[in-house]
Every structure is written in C-alpha cells, then in structure tokens.
Structure 1
Amino acid sequence: MAKDTAGYSSQLSDFQSHGETCRGTLLRPDNPGPNPIVILAHGFAAERSFQLPEIARHFVEHGFAAYYFDYRCFGDSDGTPRHWVDPKRHQQDWRNAIAHVGKLDGIDPTRIVLWGSSFSGGHVLQLASEDVPVAAVMAQVPHINGIATARNIPLKNLLRMTVSGLADTIGSIVGYQHYSPVVGRPGDYATMSSEECWDGWFSIVPEHSQWQNKVLSRVFLKLPLFSPNHHASRIKVPTLIIAGKHDSITPAQSAKKMAEDIPQGEYHELPCNHFQVYTGKFLEQVLAIQLDFLDKHTGRDIA
C-alpha cells in the first residue's frame, strides 16, 4: 500500500467477475474508519484511467474512501474479446465490485455509494432499482432511455450501426468480431459523433494511453433496450442526477423526468455539454453538488 502526502493511501485491489479478474484501485483516508466509500466506473468504452483518479481523489480528501475499477475486457482487467460493452456484463461487474468492497477492512458496508457517468450512470440507476445493498447513488449525464439516446444519433449512422451489430452478433457464433469506432467528428461513422464528442472525449484520455477507438458492434442491438427510467419508482435510496443542458448524447429532459419519478430523487442541471462535467469549472460544480449530497445522506469520518 502506497502512502500519499495528501493524507490518504492508494492500493490495487482486484476482484473476480464470472471467472475473469477485474482490476481496481482503492483510495482510503488516513484514519481507522470504518469509512463510507464511493465506487466508480466509467461510461461507454472508457477506462478507469480517464479522469476517475482525479475525481476519486476529491472524495477521499473529503473523508470518504473511493474505489474505481475497469470492466472486464477494458483497461488492465482481463477478458476477451476486448472492447466489449454490454449492459448485463457491466452490471455483473458492478455487483461483484460492490460485494468485494463491502468485505474490505476499514470500509463501512452500510454506507456504499455508487457513482456512474454516462453509460455507467445508467448502470448505477438500474442497479439501485434492483435492491442492491447501497446507501445512495450519484449519476452524472446518465444514459436514461435507449430510444431517447438513439434519437440523437444521425439516421445514416443508426442504420449502419444496426447492420454492424447484426454482423458482429452473428459472427460471434464462429469467433468473428466486428468493431465500430467509439468516437468521431461530425459526419463520421461512430457511436458518438456530435460537435462536442471528439475534443470532449480526448480531453479525458491520459497522455500515452494505449486506448483504442473501437467497440464491439454487438452493443448497438442492446443499446435501444437499455432504459433504466422504466424502473425509477423502484429506487428507494437517495439518488442524485446531474445533467447537462447542452448534452447532445444523453438528453437532459430524460434525466429530469427520471429524477422526478424517483421517490428520493434530487436533480441538478448545469449549462454544459456531455463531456464538460469531467474537467474545469463544471467539474468543480459537479463535485461541490456531489460532496454536499454525500454529506447529507451518508455522513463522513475525518480523522
């Protein structure tokens, strides 16, 4: 375990998910605990090195432990084929991460908070509706409804994504993989290609990252069916949703409606796009809202 001069320690902490190793990083304050903890994982096809260390650090400096991990087939986690985005598989990894974290020394298993962003924002909302043992949920610019998200994709791309998804799904029977780009510029064929996407995505990719701009196309057949908002009324824990007014990927109106349907939902909307929540002044605003939410609903132990 490495000690940090900022008053917290950092260590690698892996867990098993359906026969594969998922790799994560645990940050904990320099106090005996037991501490509440925030579990973080990234959105569509991203890796845990993409700004999550910086975000997690803020939670730890505020008195919480934090744990961020890579899904199977991403980052330095195991699993093949690589770059496999799948809601069911990702949520399996989330469940195993929650079980793993709940057994760690110095962690209060009754004060586990889930943090999700974009696609993983949808995951944490879905999990919260299924009575996962967590104290609260925070979702920023979350995927809310598959059809609403698909409406933001240009028709020509949507048609090509459908064909690619069929090719990859059928090909997987014989071990063939068909990949599509994750991010592109306006007019490109990619999962995300609106004006904000290219520069926004690469604003959070670390220098010297080995990340590849591709995803298994089979996810496109599942994307329209993944709609956490259908289960909003079943979420019984305090839930924070932060949306971007100018988000061209996950529309703010869907996020607002879901927050209103959650019994303990809290909604904030910022004048930003999808990627601006990760950096600069909007990151500062998001963190201020999230830390206030955490203090209200979980408490904190600071030595």
Structure 2
Amino acid sequence: MAKSTKSNLAAWQKCKKLKWSSPSRALPHGLSGIVSVSLGMYLIANSMIGNLSPYKRFMDVNVPIVLMLYSFLSAFNAVAGAQLSHLAWKETQMIFRRCAFLQLCLAFYTLRFAPVFDQALSTIQSIENSVISEVFMSWIHYFDVMFAIILVFCTLSFQQVAFEQWIVHKKRAIASAVSIGSLGILLLSTYPIQLAIGGHSWWNCIQQTYSEQNVGMVGYIYVPATVTFSLILFSATLYQRGIISDVQFGIGAVVITIVCLVGTVLSQELHIPFVSTQRIYLPCQEPIEDSTEAYILNTLDFSLYARSFWREVFGVHIEQN
C-alpha cells in the first residue's frame, strides 16, 4: 500500500513538471491540446445525444465556429508536437513526427467532409470566371490526393512499429495498442482514398443519396477519431516520461480506441439512419445484385451490424420511414 502511494506521488510530481507551453508561448503544444480535446469532447457529446447543429452552425451564426476552431487547434497542436519530437527517445522521434502528420490529416478531414466546406466550394464554383473556379478545384483535388497518401502511409507504417514492439522489445501491450489503433484509422482511410480517386464529384454523388452523410462523416467519424488519437498521443507522452507503465499505456489506448469505434458506430445508426451510411466501401452507384462488388459492399457495411446490435441487444428496431 505504501509502495503504491509512493509510486502515485512520484507520478504526480512528474506530471507537475510537464511544460504545457512548450515549444514556445506562441506555439503551446500542451495548452492547445487541452483546448482542442475539450472542444472535441463537447462535439462528441452532442453527437452522442443526436444534436448535430454544432456541425452546421453556432447559435444564430450559420457557420460551425466550434468545429472550425477545433479543426484549426488540432492542426496547430500537431505542428507544435512535431516541433517537440526531438525530445522523445531517439528511436521514437520519427514515429512522433509521423503521428503529427497523421493528426494534420485527420484535422483536415474534419473540415473537408463538413457541410461548411461544401458551401464554400459551391460559392467558388458559382464564380463567373470558370478558369478561376477550375484552377481552385484542381488545387482542392491535389490536396485530397496528397492528404490521402500521407494518411495511408503513416497509418501503415505504424504496423511496423507494432511488429518491432512485439518481436524486438517484447512489449505486447504497446504492440497491441499500436496495431489496433492503426487498423481503426486505416478503416477511416477508405473514405479519403475514394475521395482522392473519385474527386469532388464522387462526394457530391454520395451526398445526393445520403443527405446527412457530411454531418455523419464529421460528427461520428473524424472528430471522435481525432480526439481519440490525441488522447493516445498524450498517453504516449506520459509513458515516455515514466508517469505510466507500458501496460497502462497499452490497455488505455486499446480501451479508448474500442470505446470510440463502438460508441460512434452505434450512435450514428441510432440518430441518423438511412440518411447517412457507415459503409466502408462507398460507391456512387449501387453494384449489380449478387456481384462480387455487392458482396464486398455488404460485408463492409457497418450500418447493418449496428442495426443488428440494437435489435438483438436492446430490442430497438431501426426502420426506414
């Protein structure tokens, strides 16, 4: 008992020594992380109860100020984190830099799939000068492709990290956490890949079929994913500082990831079924019935699994009106 108390006091003393304003007061990694995660929790809480107005507007202003602030602060926090990566253990410095790039990608997609982004693009496309409009859309597509490549590369690279932790360092808890977390993010990468391949016309087509897909994508996928990733990175920092053990970090990261995935999948299907979908593979046109593509589509349709869970466990039947 005394040993446990002493250990907790030592951990608390180390927590007090964390520098929340590093690397500089103009670029405070810790403080920006606290604010961005707090805003993210606020958004997630609204998603869980089915209040999706923060993703469309703020009070009487027809602009999602909280969402935009959250996205910008998450990106800001990623940049600050990259600046601090040299303070990590030498063998993990590159990992933390890749984490910063991955967080930048997630922050980008919280706005890219948001209704406000479509509104801005519609305004630009309505410009009479078609040359300006076409050039701007070309640049948007360039960023879509670039961020998709970075997202997939960084996510896949973490599987190598998990392998090394499992085989070389014998830290099974960390290996499991990294592997499960990166696989979860890899599932989210399918939408950016399809956006990069199909372009904005693909995204327009999807929204014509599912009117609330933009809100669902942001409120139940990318905001929760970004918050989860930020919490895992903070846990990794605590582990490197010796404040928590490798087992505590591993278990915590796995629990956070699973709770996020399960909670958001179930909530989305409860609040906005049929007007949004959780199909991982999301083609613009429905495939031919009984085809291989149709089989893949149904296998990767998490909406079906969520409805089945609500029906079998809670007796809630989600039917289309």
Is TM-score (shorter-chain normalized) higher than 0.5?
no
Structure in which a larger fraction of residues adopt helix? 2
What TM-score do the two structures reach when normalised by structure 2? 0.28
* TM-score normalised to structure 1 length: 0.29
Q: From the two aligned structures, give the one with the greater strand fraction.
A: 1
Please identify the structure whose Cα radius of gyration is greater.
Answer: 2
